[in-house]
Each structure stands twice: as C-alpha cells, then as structure tokens.
Structure 1
Amino acid sequence: MSPSSADSTAPAGPGSAAHVVAIFVYDGVTLLDVAGPAEVFKEANRFGADYRIVLLSATGENVTSNLGFGVTVEGSVCSVPAPDTYLVPGSSLFPRTPVPRELAEAALVPTARAGRVASICTGAFILAAAGLLDGKRATTHWKAAHELAHRCPTCRVEPDAIYVRDGTTYTSAGVTAGIDLALALVEEDHGPDLTRDVARSLVVYLQRSGGQSQFSAPLQGPPPRSPALRTITDLVTANPEARHSLGDLAKHLNVSTRQLTRLFHDELSTTPSRYVEDIRFDLARAFLDQGHTATQAATLAGFPSYEALRRVFARKLSISPAAYQRRFSTARR
C-alpha cells in the first residue's frame, strides 16, 4: 500500500479545501483496519465528497503490516498541520502486549490539532495508552474489551457496540466495524443520501447502528457443554419462529423447567426465554434489512406481536423497528 493507492481520491474542487483523513500506521498494523475505512472515504469522493487520505508513521519511515506487506507513508505524525479526521488502526499485538510508550506518544501528536479522533478495533489500546480515553465511553473488539477496561479503569467500555462516540472521540469494534464507523463519519459530513450511494457501491450495510451487537446471539460466548442444552439451543436457532415456551422446551428434554433454567444460567449466563428472544431479535433485524415491514418481521421471527418486537428494540437499541429500518437497513434501490 502506498499514498498513491490510498490517496486515489478526487482532487479538491476550485476554491475548496479537501477534508484530510490522516491514518496512523506502524509495524504490525492490521491492514484491513487501514484499507477498509480508507476505501469508504475514497469511494465517497466518487459521489461528490472531497477526502484526501494521508498515511503517517511515527518517524515518516515506511512500516510493515500484519500481513508482511510494506506500507508506504507520506510523512511523519508531525507533517500534517491539522487533520480533519485522524484514524488509529489496531493490531493483533494489542492487547497481548503493552503499547510501547514511544508509539503512544507518537499517536498522540496529531490529536491536539485533529477535528475528530477515531480508533479501529484494538487501536483503542493506543488511544487509551495515550490517555485519550480517560473518563470516556469506548469500545473495541469484544474479545479484548475486558483487557481494555483493565488497562483504562476510568474508561466505560461497551463490549457489545459496533462503535461508540464520546464527543469528538470515536472507537469501533473489530475489523469490519471500521467500515461502519467510516460510513457514519461520511454521513456526518455529507448526509445519508451520499452515504447510501457509497454503501450501495461497496455492497455493504448503509451502516449498522453504533449500539448494534457485534455478533449474533448464537455466537456469543462458547457453545453449551452439555449435549442436552446443545439440543435445545440448536432447536431454537434452527426454528426460532416456533413455539418455545419454557414448558415446551423442558418437555423436549424431559426435564423440569427449574432444571432447564439452571442449565441456561450455568452454561450461558442467561434464561431460556431471553435466549429465544435474542435469537428472534437477530432474525427480525435480518427481515427488516431485507425490506419486510416491522409487523411482517415480528411475525416471521416468531414474536407474538409487533408490540413485543418494539419493546425488545427499545430495550436493546433504544429505537423502534421502523426507525432502525430507515437508518440502518441494507441500502436498496
């Protein structure tokens, strides 16, 4: 990757100044954390935006990505006077090892002049090491959320969010969530219509809600250890719209409702009814993304009524199903 490839953006129009997106890179940086957001900004230029993408390293020397590919930079962190947007990608090195002090100090340099600062995935560890997350809400990859909370005890880590905004500081979850965050930043700059064009061109979601879960309910945590409970979770996952009352599920295993509830609590830290609700919630979101009405989505996903679906959306995302569909569904013609 080189400035010529990352910076293949439209030139600034007459009398206008390009919006500078500075991306901090270093040895071991996750290449997709760099390329994903950069592609969003580059694609936005095709629809009328004016972003200039600049890759920066601590010293201005080229770096090597996690894939072993060389990354050619345009300059050091001191070479851009005032980036409008400053991105700090992540690395598999973190959270396994502490962030070197010199890396955190270098990453801190552009923040004093940047209009907004954002991290991709475990780039949040670099922001935290630089003191930029103290007292703020933040997220990172769900596997690393506990470690981030440990290293930054004054930070309120939200492990199940796609991205989090706290003032002019943004943090995002793993890998592809950087694309969601970049789309959100483009929408801030240019509104939903242009962003919809970008999403459609890239064949991705218009943008997932910042509060949307990082992963589907069946993928949260390890699978059940006991074959009996695995039977129940497989049954619910395969046919979530069927009747799955506590009594019905217990009869399926020929156990008491109390014993089934204890199994769910011990192995999945949830209840049978909440597990069924989570599966149905994910399915309803998928139906909304496909263009079904909220009432249709509720019925197809197995909710007893639209009102039941609305209450779950309000509790999980703080928006209605209709509002979710308007803002976060897949871009469609």
Structure 2
Amino acid sequence: MTSTTTSTRTLCFVAYNGFMTLDYSGPASVFSSANAIAEAPLYKIKLLSVEGDLIASESGIEMMTQSLKSHRFKATDTVFVPGANLPFLQDACDNQVLIQWLKKAKTKVGQMASVCTGAFIFAEAGILEKAKATTHWAACNQFQQLHPDIELDQEALYLQNDNVWTSAGVTTGIDMALAMLEQDHGSDLMGQVAKALVIYAHRPGNQSQFSSLLDQQLNAGDQFGALINWLEANLDKPIKVEQMADQAGMSERNFYRRFTETMGVSPAKYLEIQRLERARQLLVDGNTIKRTCHLVGFKSEAAFRTAFKNRFGLSPSLMREMHSHKA
C-alpha cells in the first residue's frame, strides 16, 4: 500500500536518565511500521536529550541522542515525553533546561504527547493547564496531590485536548500512537499497522484502565478472596447481595458496609463490573452477543448492551467486530 500523503511529520522523543524504554519504543514502532507499510517517509523519528549524549533507560539500555538545542521546531512536529519511576521522574521535573524547552515547544509544534508518568513533566512545564489529562493509575493520587488544579481522568487509556495528548501507562502509549496515526492517515493504515504489530485491536481512549479494580482485589486479601472466586465461577447465575453475604459469612448489612469500604464499590456494582469484564473477553474470543449475555447473567440483552457501552465506551457488537477483523 502506498500513501497518497508525502508530507513528513517529525516525532521528537525526549529521553532522560531512567526513562521507560517501552514508552519510547512502543509508539516509535507504530510510526516506523506506518512508514514501511505505506512505503513513504510519513514520519521521521528523533531521540533527543538535554545534552545529546548516551542516555540510560530504566532497563539499563543506553541510547544515543541528539541535543535539544540541535532541533529546530516546525509546526508539523510532535513532541513525546515518556514516563519514569522516581527518582528519575523528579530529576526530569527539576531540570529547568528540559522544562523551558518543553514550554517553548508547546508554542511552536503541532502536537505534544506524554506517555505514562510523562504527564508529571508536562504538568511541571505548564502544558496541561486547562487540559484534561490522564496518567498511570498507580500514580493518579500523587499526581492530584501535586497538581490539584489539573483535571485528571483516572480511567481513560488516553486523552486528546486540542494538540495535547496524554496516555495512561506503558502499552497505552501504543494505543495513543495508533489514534494519532489514524488522524494523520486514516483507519485503513492504522489497522494494517495494528495487525503487523500483532495488536488484537486498537482500544478507544475512553476504555477503562481496568487496574483500579484489580488493585482493590489485591487489597481484599483473605477477607473476600473466597467470595471473589465464587462470584467468578457463578457469573451466569442470578446472584443477590444476600447470597454474597452468606458466602462471606456475614450479615447482609455488615457485609455491604465492609465490602464497599474494602473494594471501593458496592457489592452489586462489583458484580456488574465482573460480568462485563467476562463479557468483554467472551466477545474477544468470538462468542455471539446473545450467548455472551447469557453466560454473564444478564436477563435483558438491551440492558447488557447499555451497561457494556457505559463501561467500555463502545457497543458489544463493535467490540466483537474489531477483534474478528484483526484475527
């Protein structure tokens, strides 16, 4: 397939000591694959750093970079900032050469994009003012403490606010890059790239990160562990809160209170989320909507469709179609 668009967008990835390798290599692979499939130089990828020397990533791999000052901004540029763990992230936020360069970039380039905790660096540079942002679920509380004036979406995989993009964590940088590619060159090329990278489907940005519930499950420990296993084995059956309380060996009132405090959601809401999570996987595996609805205990297919779209931001039929197309 040859692209009809010949203009080249320069992608400037900003490296610093301890940056996450996948935050760079994942999105970069999307755009380099687009070049190969389109048989055209749609994207030029540059790896920059403050000094322009060897930079060690969190994995210990050292990468040669060009200096920030060597790059001349263009309106077609996109600047990417990957994330890192502390204290590397804090060092980057404290580096005024980097912060001032990013502030200048915001006024000169076409797009700015952060991956994972790179949102902290964006916030430090004032790039997220008046913008809704997201970051890795495990860093959301810290982000809100440091930047209470920035509206944070703790569930989204990635967000776009005008020319500023933010993504949640690790592989969501790939989802964001696919969305950016689709905007530039259409869904056909995006789909071919996703298939070439063996990505089962491009996830819409408003899908849940799914991780906050997992975190709550880990915190549940022995108190509700047996109950959670029982629920997962009986999702196709009608289940009442009273039955859940019996399984937990508690009175219904005490169970409701303790479960909600521990899990962060009511028992009924938790059960619905578990049903929808199972439904998502069943649809990915090729099951029909009718069969999926039955296997996860929804009495009404209409109610299932509504709940599924509210949870994942797309209909069950679209979820199934996306995955069957990529198979």
So what's the TM-score if we normalise by structure 2?
0.89
Within a 5 Å distance, the mapping from 1:16-31 to structure 2 comes to 16-31=6-21
Match of 2:260 in 1: 265
SS at match of 1:23: strand
Match of 2:301 in 1: 306
Following superposition, the deviation at residue 78 of structure 1 comes to: 4.7
1:62 partner letter: L
Deviation for aligned residue 1:263? 2.1
Equivalent residue number for residue 74 of structure 1: 66
Aligned to 1:162: 157
Query: What stretches of structure 1 of length at least 5 have no aligned partner?
Result: 1-11
Shift of 1:150: 2.0
Identical aligned residues as a percent: 33
2:35 match: 45
Q: For this pair of structures, how many residues does the alignment match?
A: 321
What residue is the counterpart of 1:97 in the other structure? 90
Q: What per-residue deviation string (whole Å, max 9, x for no partner) do you get for residues 206-258 of structure 1?
A: 21121111125751325354635221112113442233221222233443322
CA–CA separation in structure 2 for the residues paired with 1:227 and 1:70: 43
- TM-score, length-normalised on structure 1? 0.87
Equivalent residue in structure 1 for 2:81, among 85, 88, 99: 88
2:326 counterpart residue number: 332
Answer yes or no: is 1:55 the counterpart of 2:47.
yes
Provide the rounded CA distance (Å) in 1 between the counterparts of 2:57 and 2:325.
32
Q: Which moved further from structure 2: 95-104 or 305-314?
A: 95-104
Counterparts of 1:238 and 1:114 in 2: how far apart (Å)? Answer: 52
Deviates more, 1:78-87 or 1:216-225: 216-225
**Of the candidates 39, 64, 68, which is equivalent to residue 56 of structure 2?**
64
Alignment deviations for residues 40-74 of structure 1 (CA, whole Å, 9 cap, x no partner): 11111122161111111123333221122211113
Which residue of the partner structure matches residue 244 of structure 1? 239
Aligned to 2:135: 140
Query: Cα offset for 1:294?
Result: 3.0
Query: How far apart, in 1, do the equivalents of 2:122 and 2:201 lie?
Result: 27
- Displacement of 1:331: 4.7
Residue equivalent to 2:291: 296
> Runs in 1 of length 4+ with deviation above 6 angstroms?
12-15
SS of 1:221's equivalent in the other structure is helix
| 1:6-65 C-alpha deviation (Å, 9 max, x unpaired) | xxxxxx999933221111111111111111110111111122161111111123333221
Who is 1:315 aligned against? 310
Query: Closer, same or farther in 2 for the Cα pair 1:293/1:126, shift >3 Å?
Result: same
> Higher helix share goes to which structure?
2
1:201 paired to 2:196: yes
Using the alignment, how far apart are the partners of 1:279 and 1:119 within structure 2? 31
The runs of 5 or more residues in structure 2 that have no matched partner are none
For 2:268, the aligned partner's letter is S
Q: Distance in 2 between matches of 1:217 and 1:240?
A: 21
